[in-house]
Amino acid sequence: MNAKIFSMKKILAITFFTFSVPALLLLFILSFYTIQRQADADIESYRSHLKLYKSTVERTLDNTENLLANVAINNTAFRAFYYADSQLHKHMNAFEVMKSMKILMTQEPLIGGFFLYSNNFSYYLPSYQMNYPLSDQKKIKDYLTGIEDIEWQPHGWIPFSLSDRIVLLQVTGIKNTLCAAIIDPSLDMDVASASIPEKDILLFFSSLNGVPYTSQKEMEPREFAWTAASIQVVSLSQNKYQLIKEPFSQENIQLCYMVPYKSILERLNTFQRVLLSAIALLFLSVPFIWLFLYRRLLEPLNSLMKTMEKVGTGDLSLRAPDTLPIRELRNFGQTFNQMLENIKTLKVETYEKKLDLQQAQLQYLQLQIRPHFYLNCLKGLYGMAEKKQYKEIQEMLLALSDYFRYIFRNNKQLVSLSEEIHSVSSYISLQQLNFSCNPELTMDIAADTADIPILPLSLLTFVENSVKHSSNPAGLTIHLKSRLVTAEDGTFLNLIISDNSGGFSPDALQILNHLPEYKSLYDDYHVGISNIYYRMELTYEHNGLLAFYNTECGGCAELFIPVKKGDVENECIDCR
């Protein structure tokens, strides 16, 4: 009887949906219920207390403002105070006005004080709810006595800074005679805080842009990050608080309530704890799930792994079991067996790849032998012989010998950077001796790059192209630069070949930077560059990079060649 075949996907799906989904669903319900019900209820409770207290404060502001307006307009004693022609009359009428003000001050604990001032006789009379420091009393007096005309004063309540708090000040009156009041929110904070059933709370006033109007030392520093949201979490004295703000309808002030921030676990009630326990029970069932998966999935996988390890030691005669009870594992075993059959084919393909690399190198060496360049050199030697320039002939023969010796001998895969630079110098010498152009070669070769192996003719090809396609042969300057660059995926030799010949055209840059797309076109016209790109792909397996771009002076070709450990030696190269 054939064993029943199972689907690995089916087993994993049953396991996941049977155990994981209920746990996630219960966790979601717990989180949603906790956050929505508990947090919303708490915040709504806080807001209710804030709104209740805000109405009390607004009543105080309105009553005080109405009293000041009534005194300035309708109070006969204030009129008499305004028109008094002697110090005694001023004093008597001022005390009469202050009586009505003190009545309201005894009823409203937030009123910090009332003030009367007349420029005539420089008469000033204050009445305080509490004992403010003398420095604060002087500051209030200096401000009020410095008002020359009440018409120029701001209307409504304005913030006024004292030594340890900010109060609200309103001034009204007739010309140079005024009455004023201050509202000190910190006077009634203890009473207001006691009405809210929370411990370690902070209740205070602030401006709409976040400046606290309070003397509580817990608010030091007095400024922290505020947002426009009515509810936010803030950090104060290394503790986290939930800040709830309730702005007033007309004034530039808001009532703020800060309560210690509670995490979700701290807010759990009985139902939520039961729900969390149910999720914990699901997690405790994980070992039983593991046992099920082990018997159905891991044991067959272990059998496959043992076979693969033996094959890895070189025993290619083994085959993976293809009668496993899980369909996917059975298919895996069959595929693995087929892979063993294909190893011979892969070895052949690897060998063919090496042959392709050798063929590309030979092809490139053959392409470097340019008959027209060789004939031009011979023609130049003949011309020098006619002119009996024997010293120049000797120099040219030596340079030509070095150049062709390098061209013909490089049937190996890599050469050192110093060898490649020497061949470039020989080529430049030939150009300076034999042809009308007189290119100048400058180099900036890092000392630790001289012996790094590179592909032969990597630099020479670009130097020849610069000379051949130069728009300014008489003043051509070619610059070579090398350096080591370290990146996340290894160390690279960076080679830069630049000139001052005008640069590449946009069409040429498009082709040069997308050689695979234009391979057939480019092989016909610029065989050398195409050949370098192809050899880099074969040698470095897509780890090298060849890029072309223009600078302010001319064109630039840049190569990034991977450097293996041990290729870098701290030796210098003479770049002159």
Q: What is the DSSP string of 507-571?
A: HHHHHHTTGGGGHHHHHHH-HHHHHHHHHHHHHHTT--EEEEEE-SSSEEEEEEEE--TT-----
Q: Domain end: 308, 328, 355, which one?
A: 355
Q: Answer yes or no: do 398 and 518 share one domain.
A: yes
Residue written as tokens 């020989």?
426
Q: How many domains in the chain?
A: 3
Tell me the three-class secondary structure of 139-199, residue by residue: HHHHHHHCCCCHHHCCCCCEEEECCCCEEEEEEEEECCEEEEEEECHHHHHHHHHHCCCCC
Strands 440-445 and 477-487: parallel
Q: Which residue has the higher pLDDT, 558 or 429?
A: 558
Q: Answer yes or no: do 438 and 304 share one domain.
A: no
Q: Which residue has the higher pLDDT, 184 or 36?
A: 184
Q: What CA–CA distance (Å, rounded) separates 214 from 207?
A: 11
* Residue 124 within a domain: yes
Q: Answer yes or no: do 344 and 485 share one domain.
A: no
347 backbone dihedrals φ, ψ, rounded to 5°: -65, -40
Q: Answer yes or no: do 384 and 320 share one domain.
A: no
**322-377 confidence digits (pLDDT tens):** 777 777 777 777 787 777 777 767 766 775 676 566 566 545 544 554 555 666 67
Q: How sure is the predictor about 572, in pLDDT bands with cuts at 50, 70 and 90?
A: very low
Cβ(502)–Cβ(525) below 8 Å: no
Q: What is the radius of gyration, based on Cα positions, of the chain?
A: 46
**190-205 confidence digits (pLDDT tens):** 555 555 555 567 777 7
Q: Domain end: 355, 386, 403, which one?
A: 355
Domain carrying residue 321? 295-355
Q: Answer yes or no: do 243 and 340 share one domain.
A: no
* Residue 364 within a domain: no
* Residue 70 within a domain: yes
**For residue 237, what are its two tokens?**
């004295």
CA angle 292–285–266, rounded 5-degree value: 155
Q: What CA–CA distance (Å, rounded) separates 52 from 191?
A: 13
Per DSSP (E only), the strands in 393-439 are 415-416
Mean pLDDT of the chain: 78
260 backbone dihedrals φ, ψ, rounded to 5°: -55, 135
* Residue 61 within a domain: yes
pLDDT at 575: 37
* Residue 558 within a domain: yes
Q: Answer yes or no: do 481 and 543 share one domain.
A: yes
Q: Answer yes or no: do 426 and 531 share one domain.
A: yes
Q: How sure is the predictor about 32, in pLDDT bands with cuts at 50, 70 and 90?
A: low
The torsion region of residue 256 among left (phi > 0), alpha (psi -120 to 50) and beta comes to beta
Q: What is the mean pLDDT of residues 529-558?
A: 85
Q: Answer yes or no: do 546 and 464 share one domain.
A: yes
Q: Answer yes or no: do 163 and 308 share one domain.
A: no
Q: Answer yes or no: do 444 and 548 share one domain.
A: yes
Q: How sure is the predictor about 131, in pLDDT bands with cuts at 50, 70 and 90?
A: confident
Q: Answer yes or no: do 545 and 409 share one domain.
A: yes
pLDDT at 369: 47
Question: Range with the lowest mean pLDDT among 3-12, 88-97, 546-555?
Answer: 3-12
Q: Domain end: 258, 284, 310, which one?
A: 284
Q: How sure is the predictor about 485, in pLDDT bands with cuts at 50, 70 and 90?
A: very high
* Residue 362 within a domain: no
Whichever domain contains 495, its CATH number is: 3.30.565.10
Which residues have C-beta within 8 Å of that of residue 47, sequence separation ≥ 6? 244, 246
Cβ(399)–Cβ(424) below 8 Å: no
Q: What is the mean pLDDT of residues 535-543?
A: 80
* Residue 212 within a domain: yes
pLDDT at 409: 61
Q: Answer yes or no: do 268 and 382 share one domain.
A: no
* Residue 567 within a domain: no
Q: Is the dihedral of CA 159, 161, 167, 168 positive or negative?
A: negative
Residue 160 one-letter amino acid: F
